[in-house]
Structure 1
Amino acid sequence: MKTVVKDSARKKAIREHRAHTGKSYTDAARDLDRQIDARQTQVVTFDSFSGQARHVVDLAREHVRSRRHSVLGTEHLLLGLLDDGAGGLAFEILDDLAGGVEAVESAVTTATPKGETRASQAVAFSDHAAFVLAKGAPRQANKTGHGYVGSEHILLALLAVHDCRACRILTGLGISYHPIRTEIVDRLNAMGVLSRYHNPH
């Protein structure tokens, strides 16, 4: 159940966020709601994740360490999808539609240069990354009618969080949610991967 912020406290938080960011009242309110939702997703489990999808997360952790960043963000999950062994269908689609996985990796590197911190052994997720893994990817698997979370569902979840870094990188390369969702469903159907929906479009 979503946390309800009392009106007076909520309005004060929105005003403070608006003053800090310069955003409109409506946009500041949306930001606050997203932050509340994201804070409830810190416990991430991988019971429904395929082996490939779990490997994507492992690779994302490696990218955090190799790039000397402090937390695992959506951009690191995107990098994990760029491995042909782990990324699976998501890798194939990005390679075909984003001008090659090298173009995506270059865009990530430009947006998130190497840092100077050493990540701890237990890498923490950013709020957006935690949301993608705990709620976003399972929701996308449910929407496409599949009983598992694959790398393709992680990609869809990244594209569904419009204000996360990975989504901004992908949209900058001309990659957006609805065409990718259609492509994923069509390719899974062609591969004979069953959906519980007759027409998932």
Structure 2
Amino acid sequence: MFERFTGQSRRVIVRSQEEAWELGHDRIGTEHLLLGLLQEREGLLARVLGALRGRAETGHRPLGRRESVAARALGDLGLDRGTVLAGVVEAVGRGAGSVPRHVPFTLRTEKALEQSLHEAIGLGHGHIGTEHLLLGLLHGSHNTAVSVLRGLGVSQEEARRQVHHTLDVLATGTRE
């Protein structure tokens, strides 16, 4: 399933599992995937979220060596891991028991991962990057990640536009 994932996207999956463990959850939900994307600070996700929240630059600086598109997009929306983590804990709480070593994906997370492939194909990309993971998350309307973003004042459509804007800026090297 992960053959087309970039190194950054694979790290996001590992970080998502770590987020589930840290919160004491026995499944990797869309909220954990969102938190994993935020940890990959060098990417589009942080850039998109920062621009939407208006707290950061609008994402015209070049990507850092390890910056993911998704992390850049989220950062530009003004979202950071701490803010989103607080929203996740408010939405789903913390687990009370021990968590198994293998933490499976929820059905909604599996659907978001599948959608990320469709997003990549739709953009004509032969890989699945963090931007595609974020777009896959944003495709569903009834998942915890989308609810957390909404609670933080970021709509799905606004986030999708920011991802595409960030991709355009990176592709053309232009400024607004």
Whichever residue aligns with residue 116 of structure 1, its letter is A
Gaps of 5+ in 1: 1-44, 194-201
1:80 aligns with 2:36: yes
CA shift in 2, pair 1:100/1:61, >3 Å: closer
Give the 5 Å matches for 1:13-52: 45-52=1-8
Larger Rg: 1
Deviation at 1:105, TM superposition (A): 2.3
Deviation at 1:164, TM superposition (A): 0.8
What is the aligned counterpart of 2:23 among 67, 77, 81?
Answer: 67
CA shift in 2, pair 1:92/1:85, >3 Å: closer
Deviations 1:103-142 (A, max 9, x none): 2222112212211122222211110011111x11111112
2:11 aligned residue = 55
- Say whether the 8 Å CA contact 2:35–2:81 is kept in structure 1: no
CA shift in 2, pair 1:119/1:99, >3 Å: closer
Deviation at 1:55, TM superposition (A): 0.5
Percent of matched pairs sharing the same residue: 32
1:191 aligned residue = 170
CA distance in 1, matches of 2:124, 2:162: 15
What is the aligned counterpart of 1:126 among 98, 106, 115?
Answer: 106
Corresponding residue pairs, total = 148
What is the aligned counterpart of 1:136 among 97, 115, 137?
Answer: 115
TM-score, normalising length: structure 2: 0.76
- Say whether the 8 Å CA contact 2:4–2:127 is kept in structure 1: yes
CA RMSD of aligned residues (A): 1.9
What is the aligned counterpart of 1:104 among 84, 101, 119?
Answer: 84
TM-score, normalising length: structure 1: 0.67
Deviation at 1:100, TM superposition (A): 4.0
Deviation at 1:170, TM superposition (A): 1.0
Whichever residue aligns with residue 8 of structure 2, its letter is Q
1:91 aligned residue = 71
Whichever residue aligns with residue 171 of structure 1, its letter is R
CA distance in 2, matches of 1:111, 1:56: 21
- With a CA cutoff of 8 Å and minimum separation of 6, indicate the structure with the bigger relative contact order: 2
Deviation at 1:81, TM superposition (A): 0.9
- Say whether the 8 Å CA contact 1:98–1:174 is kept in structure 2: no
